[in-house]
Amino acid sequence: MNYDKKIDAIVDYIKSGEKSVEDFKVGFEVEHFPINAETMETITYGEEGGVRDSLTEIEKLGYEGVYEGENIMGISASDFAISIEPAAQFEVAYGAKKTVDELFDNYKKVMGQIVPIFDKKNQLLAQVGYQPKSKIDDLPFIPKERYKYMAQYFKDFGGTSPFNMMKGSGSLQVAIDYKDEADFKKKFFVANAVSTFLYSTFDNAYIFEGEVYPKHNLRQSIWDNCDKNRSGIYDFAFDSDLSYEKYAAKILATDSIFIHKDGKDIYTGNTPFEEIFDNEDMSLDMINHALSIVFPDVRVKTYIEVRMPDNVPYPYNFAAVALIKNMFYDEEILQFLSQLFADMTYERSQKLKDKALMQGIDTIYKDKKISEWMLEITQMIKEDSEYIKPLEDLLKKDQTPRDIYESLYKEDPQKAICNYSVNKFIKEN
């Protein structure tokens, strides 16, 4: 298959995600840390009462288990899916809905079924941006072949922190739709331009490798130093000729790491997808894999994934969902952001990121602090005000979820992590 046909196949896949405005939905997923409520140590996959056992118990509720060999690796259901990350981070993806209310109802229903399974073992599903106590070297990989291949690739070709990404980080990701290529271009540009704002506003990583982290935006730093070719901000995000084709070209130029063939994963290392597609058919599954094995701040499949916020507890998790939904679906706000960042370039975005590592939401962009810009944006939002208000109140105090966690942690670390868990939310709701 020649290069143009490869490009066309990926472009067609992305284009297939176009929707009418009336059909726009918003989806989200979160990565939790299963931890021992007493010791704050991370629960591993294979230990007695560990994540594997929890998945088996969830499967017995009447859901379909997802297996690799004899090992259960997730749950498939109509309105949600569970998967586990390399160190058994417990990821839940919720089916996209038209309204935040619908998402919230589904969230309460799903977590209301799942949390009691952890409660009875005195385990918490912690909602922070990095492991709350355990160090990544003490956490084994789950028995999933692809993570062995990813570890090998990152050892040979990665940056300084890919294993912190794989084993240590926990995010909240929001998916948004686009109606056509022009709409895609505008939203992809804005999503990348606002990257530092979202990292800073939802900063929620106080502990790093068992010690207090002295800077801000830990996950931003981890991702930027994971793999320069597949993470961070793509440099073409601010190009005037940004297009589906440019995104597709980036995918073809990216190392493949592994592919799934004949029922199993096969290590392909630094072979770029352009070469992979010379030898393999460009099935929809193969294209989806190529689009999924890249980890930029803003990722594209048949929707746009906004991947910057740390996992944060209620009410800030749904404030993040409502904020991002309105930033991209309210035309007045989207246009405001387009104008605010009209002169943003890749170089400027990197400088802003660097400043925010030291200054967080106090970082100045143009004539205001990030917290002031974000407060202005929240006050423009007309819908979902009940979800936005807790974030608005936090911004008025010039604080982030990390600041609240820090205050609780200094009083009692165990109290901090109990407050920053889904278990607390379920008990109160």
- Residue 375's contacts (CB-CB under 8 Å, 6 or more residues apart) are 392, 395, 396
Contact 392, 376 (CB under 8 A): no
pLDDT digits (tens, 9 = 90+) for 164-180: 999 999 999 999 999 99
pLDDT digits (tens, 9 = 90+) for 226-238: 999 999 999 999 9
pLDDT value of residue 37: 97
The domain 3-428 is placed in CATH, from the list 1.20.1250.20, 3.40.50.720, 3.40.50.150, 3.30.590.20, at 3.30.590.20
pLDDT value of residue 279: 76
d(CA 402, CA 386): 22
Q: Which of 53, 61, 33, 220 is nearest to 132 (CA)?
A: 33
Contact 35, 123 (CB under 8 A): yes
Helices 370-378 and 385-396: crossing angle, nearest 10°? Answer: 150
Residue 328 in tokens: 């991209």
**What mean pLDDT comes out for the span 110-117?**
98
d(CA 402, CA 405): 5
Q: What residue spans define the domains of the chain?
A: 3-428
Residue 52: is its pLDDT beyond 80? yes
pLDDT digits (tens, 9 = 90+) for 6-19: 999 999 999 999 99
Residue 9 in tokens: 């196949």
Residue 280: is its pLDDT beyond 80? no
Residue 120: is its pLDDT beyond 90? yes
d(CA 202, CA 190): 17
**What mean pLDDT comes out for the span 213-233?**
97
pLDDT digits (tens, 9 = 90+) for 66-113: 999 999 999 999 999 999 999 999 999 999 999 999 999 999 999 999
Residue 1: is its pLDDT beyond 90? no
Indicate the burial class of 331 (C-beta count within 10 angstroms; 0-12, 13-18, 19 or more).
Answer: exposed
pLDDT digits (tens, 9 = 90+) for 127-159: 999 999 999 999 999 999 999 999 999 999 999
* Predicted confidence band of residue 325 (pLDDT cuts 50, 70, 90): very high
Indicate the burial class of 57 (C-beta count within 10 angstroms; 0-12, 13-18, 19 or more).
Answer: middle
User: What's the half-sphere exposure (Cβ side, CA atoms, 13 Å) at 202?
Assistant: 33
Residue 256: is its pLDDT beyond 90? yes
Contact 323, 386 (CB under 8 A): no
**What mean pLDDT comes out for the span 216-222?**
98
* Predicted confidence band of residue 400 (pLDDT cuts 50, 70, 90): very high
122 Ramachandran zone, left/alpha/beta (phi>0; psi -120 to 50): left
Average pLDDT, rounded, for the chain: 97
pLDDT value of residue 262: 83
**Type of residue at 355:** K
pLDDT value of residue 261: 86
Q: What pTM was computed for the model?
A: 0.97
Contact 164, 222 (CB under 8 A): yes
**Type of residue at 8:** D
Q: CA angle at residue 403 from 399 to 409, to 5 degrees?
A: 160
* Predicted confidence band of residue 205 (pLDDT cuts 50, 70, 90): very high
pLDDT value of residue 157: 96
pLDDT digits (tens, 9 = 90+) for 330-348: 999 999 999 999 999 999 9
Chain centroid to CA 111: how far? 19
Q: CA angle at residue 151 from 67 to 268, to 5 degrees?
A: 80
pLDDT value of residue 317: 98
What phi, psi does 340 have (nearest 5°)?
Answer: -60, -40
pLDDT digits (tens, 9 = 90+) for 298-318: 999 999 999 999 999 999 999
Residue 2 in tokens: 């020649």
pLDDT value of residue 282: 83
Tell me if residue 263 falls in helix, strand or coil: coil
pLDDT digits (tens, 9 = 90+) for 335-388: 999 999 999 999 999 999 999 999 999 999 999 999 999 999 999 999 999 999
d(CA 17, CA 188): 14
d(CA 284, CA 324): 28
pLDDT value of residue 264: 87
pLDDT value of residue 236: 97
d(CA 317, CA 220): 18
pLDDT value of residue 281: 73
d(CA 180, CA 23): 13
pLDDT value of residue 272: 96
Going by the DSSP 8-state scheme, the letter that residue 344 receives in this structure is -
